[in-house]
A and B are shown apart, each in its own frame.
Chain A
């Protein structure tokens, strides 16, 4: 479904991603772990189409298409979804109105009839229940005045409604208490299917107790340094990133 080949990305002349390789097939859950500043979020945002990043080399093939040439909205319509690490507040735009517009844009892209409020509201109610969301959130502006936990939950709620094929969760677990974490994990697991792939970007191993990955990748210094099964996450939790970072230093230092 997704193949990232030798991806190099710069921001303000500084190289953040320095040759990322990753292959994700339908039905798989991958976790990308790594210390702060290793490039995890950059990778997530580049996949979603954030234009502030300069791609200097490499390619990303999604469902046989060149993902990097697609506009963000086109990627979304083709089934790519990013749950933001820091969801943006959009004052004045109603949360449900926004979601309906998004869903209809995607449906239209696939030649489906647009949903009217009558069809849309039951769907919203069902998904809100799944995420244990307060009914009041549907009357508020997108993320405006939401607590950190509410924002994260809102991301997963949007994902549940939009039903993407490739979901990328960028530190969706950060800052959640255990109850919220379970709810979010529940929402993610509900989406798991042989047709879908999920990439869970996280700093901590905790979420992976609930969303059990098929593959774990460790990202350090803009590269995937190590890949393995779910046991790699436990190993990291035990030993910390420090040792891997030291290994990375050893790899890169001879050049300087």
Chain B
């Protein structure tokens, strides 16, 4: 308990300094929100496993470390340092953030069509104040979520994406977040805001990576506001080092007849919490939540879904597949909340898990809260091992055991890939999964 309050105190002290500095940057209008958020954090403290939403994830390691707030950095990096991450293999406009800060020098020269705006949040805080005042911190729930409260209190930079009404983007917007930790554990709070205008169509990719293997903590919040009849596809790729702590929150607010797909691929991080919280606010909207988490060693990956049906005639589909090896631990907590007026809701949730070792563990928990009377909600979860009969069948045809395992795991992961449309990004994710499955070389050879 003492450790916890000490940790909290250090955040409060750090905030006092931060707030003074921020006031000078013309971001004074944000102060009330930041102060409200830090007050919420002071009130909430870090969650414990007594908290139902955190039952399977102990954030003690995060609470006990006193992280140093990184406010700049990355200036010393050159494109060469990022070469290992530039293999994304799809045409896109790339925006690079180092320790949460936008670095134009490392970003590919954005050839942005029309009125499309992609910028650093820091810039937008003054330049696009009107849009930001209307949307920023209006959706992500800092009142009840300590990590979101911390992010909101310390938010400073990240991506601001504004897709004009009617725009159809051919290429994805690719946001790369690089953490360069040092000798002292560091913390960053990247904050993203994506506004998709009515009738627009776009794809946004967020990828998180580490340079080096030092301890760091990325506490990310992304708010997405999707206009009427627009289509937005969001990818989250987590591949930070196995020393990294990561809490990310994706909060989408969907307008009438909008269509959102959230695809997540979790491969990295020591302790990862992946919050996906769509609110189907407009009638007839649709959302797909598609995730694949693959953990090994001591990794802990917690997927917390909160799908809120707030209007009638909305569909939601959740599909999460987990592959857990070593002593890793996975969590899938799928909440579906159907509000009183959300009649004709059609919500479905499926979580499938493969345990590859005796010591790997998965906790899976559906949670349905239904306040309307004419709805269709289904959920299902499976936990299994690799099918030995299938392994033998493949081996009996000449395929080596390790390759046979890889083939079967890749096939399991393919269920998630099949739900992704954008071809080049899908190939990129498949490539990352193949790298993870390094036990056999078959997959590369067969390409």
**Interface-side segment among A19-27, A103-111, A130-138:** A103-111
Docked pose: A72 CA to B395 CA in angstroms = 6
Whether B394 is near chain A, meaning CB under 8 Å from some CB there, is: yes
Whether B80 is near chain A, meaning CB under 8 Å from some CB there, is: no
Cβ–Cβ contact B394 & A158, under 8 A: no
Interface centre among B393, B401, B410 (most CB of A within 10 A): B393
Whether A90 is near chain B, meaning CB under 8 Å from some CB there, is: yes
Whether B83 is near chain A, meaning CB under 8 Å from some CB there, is: no
Whether B407 is near chain A, meaning CB under 8 Å from some CB there, is: yes
In the bound complex, residues from chain A placing their C-beta under 8 Å from that of B400 are 73, 105
Whether B389 is near chain A, meaning CB under 8 Å from some CB there, is: yes
Whether A71 is near chain B, meaning CB under 8 Å from some CB there, is: yes
CB distance from A54 to the nearest CB of B (A): 16
Q: Mark B383-400, 1 if CB is under 8 A from A, else 0.
A: 000010110111111111
Whether B411 is near chain A, meaning CB under 8 Å from some CB there, is: yes
Cβ–Cβ contact B397 & A90, under 8 A: no
Whether B408 is near chain A, meaning CB under 8 Å from some CB there, is: yes
Whether A91 is near chain B, meaning CB under 8 Å from some CB there, is: yes
In the bound complex, residues from chain A placing their C-beta under 8 Å from that of B399 are 73, 98, 101-102, 105
Q: Mark A138-163, 1 if CB is under 8 A from B, else 0.
A: 00011000000000000000100010
In the bound complex, residues from chain A placing their C-beta under 8 Å from that of B390 are 88-90
Interface centre among A49, A88, A100 (most CB of B within 10 A): A88
Whether A92 is near chain B, meaning CB under 8 Å from some CB there, is: yes
Docked pose: A71 CA to B394 CA in angstroms = 12
Cβ–Cβ contact A84 & B401, under 8 A: no
In the bound complex, residues from chain B placing their C-beta under 8 Å from that of A106 are 398
Cβ–Cβ contact B398 & A88, under 8 A: no
In the bound complex, residues from chain B placing their C-beta under 8 Å from that of A142 are 393
Cβ–Cβ contact A76 & B411, under 8 A: no
Q: Given A92-B414, A97-B446, A114-B445, does the pair A76, B396 have CB atoms closer than 8 Å?
A: yes
Docked pose: A6 CA to B400 CA in angstroms = 29
Q: Given A90-B390, A92-B414, A92-B415, does the pair A72, B396 have CB atoms closer than 8 Å?
A: yes
Task: Return the contact of B398 from the options A87, A105, A114 (Cβ within 8 A).
Answer: A105
In the bound complex, residues from chain B placing their C-beta under 8 Å from that of A101 are 399, 403, 407, 442, 445-446
Cβ–Cβ contact B398 & A109, under 8 A: yes
Tell me the nearest residue of chain B to A142, going by C-beta: B393
Docked pose: A106 CA to B408 CA in angstroms = 19
Cβ–Cβ contact A102 & B397, under 8 A: yes
In the bound complex, residues from chain A placing their C-beta under 8 Å from that of B393 are 84, 87-88, 90, 142
Tell me the nearest residue of chain B to A52, going by C-beta: B388
Q: Mark A56-90, 1 if CB is under 8 A from B, else 0.
A: 00000000000000011101110001101001111
Q: Given A97-B446, A101-B403, A104-B445, does the pair A90, B411 have CB atoms closer than 8 Å?
A: yes
Whether B412 is near chain A, meaning CB under 8 Å from some CB there, is: yes
> Which residues 391-430 of B sit at the A interface, judged by CB distance below 8 A?
392-401, 403-404, 407-408, 410-412, 414-415
Give the A interface residue count (CB, 8 A): 36
Whether A48 is near chain B, meaning CB under 8 Å from some CB there, is: yes
Interface range on chain B: under 10, 10 to 19, 20 to 34, or 35 or more?
Answer: 20 to 34
Task: Return the contact of A73 from the options B401, B410, B411, B445 (Cβ within 8 A).
Answer: B401
Task: Return the contact of B408 from the options A81, A93, A162 (Cβ within 8 A).
Answer: A93
In the bound complex, residues from chain A placing their C-beta under 8 Å from that of B414 are 92
> Which residues 152-181 of A sit at the B interface, judged by CB distance below 8 A?
158, 162
Cβ–Cβ contact B397 & A98, under 8 A: yes
In the bound complex, residues from chain A placing their C-beta under 8 Å from that of B398 are 73, 76-77, 102-103, 105-106, 109, 162
Whether A226 is near chain B, meaning CB under 8 Å from some CB there, is: no
Docked pose: A87 CA to B394 CA in angstroms = 11
Docked pose: A88 CA to B394 CA in angstroms = 9
Whether A50 is near chain B, meaning CB under 8 Å from some CB there, is: yes
CB distance from B444 to the nearest CB of A (A): 11
In the bound complex, residues from chain B placing their C-beta under 8 Å from that of A51 are 392
Q: Mark B278-322, 1 if CB is under 8 A from A, else 0.
A: 000000000000000000000000000000000000000000000
Docked pose: A162 CA to B220 CA in angstroms = 52
Docked pose: A81 CA to B396 CA in angstroms = 7
In the bound complex, residues from chain B placing their C-beta under 8 Å from that of A141 are 411
In the bound complex, residues from chain A placing their C-beta under 8 Å from that of B404 are 73
In the bound complex, residues from chain A placing their C-beta under 8 Å from that of B395 are 49, 71-73, 76
Q: Given A71-B401, A114-B445, does the pair A98, B396 have CB atoms closer than 8 Å?
A: no
Task: Return the contact of B397 from the options A71, A91, A162 (Cβ within 8 A).
Answer: A162
Cβ–Cβ contact A92 & B412, under 8 A: yes
> Which residues 366-397 of B sit at the A interface, judged by CB distance below 8 A?
387, 389-390, 392-397
Q: Given A73-B401, A100-B446, A114-B445, does the pair A49, B411 have CB atoms closer than 8 Å?
A: no
Tell me the nearest residue of chain B to A106, going by C-beta: B398
> Which residues 179-223 of A sit at the B interface, judged by CB distance below 8 A?
none
Docked pose: A76 CA to B398 CA in angstroms = 5
Docked pose: A84 CA to B397 CA in angstroms = 11
Cβ–Cβ contact A76 & B397, under 8 A: yes
> Which residues 129-178 of B sit at the A interface, judged by CB distance below 8 A?
none
Q: Mark A39-52, 1 if CB is under 8 A from B, else 0.
A: 00000000011110
Docked pose: A114 CA to B389 CA in angstroms = 27
Docked pose: A75 CA to B387 CA in angstroms = 21
Docked pose: A92 CA to B411 CA in angstroms = 4
Docked pose: A92 CA to B389 CA in angstroms = 15
In the bound complex, residues from chain B placing their C-beta under 8 Å from that of A100 are 446
Docked pose: A99 CA to B408 CA in angstroms = 14
CB distance from B434 to the nearest CB of A (A): 14
Give 6 pairs: A residue, B residue, CB < 8 Å, sorted on A.
A72-B396, A73-B404, A88-B392, A102-B397, A105-B397, A106-B398
Beyond A48-B396, A88-B387, A98-B394, 11 additional pairs, beta carbon < 8 A: A49-B396, A72-B396, A81-B396, A90-B408, A91-B411, A92-B414, A93-B408, A98-B399, A102-B399, A105-B442, A114-B445
Counting from the closest, the 4 A-B pairs by CB-CB distance are A92-B411, A76-B398, A102-B397, A72-B395
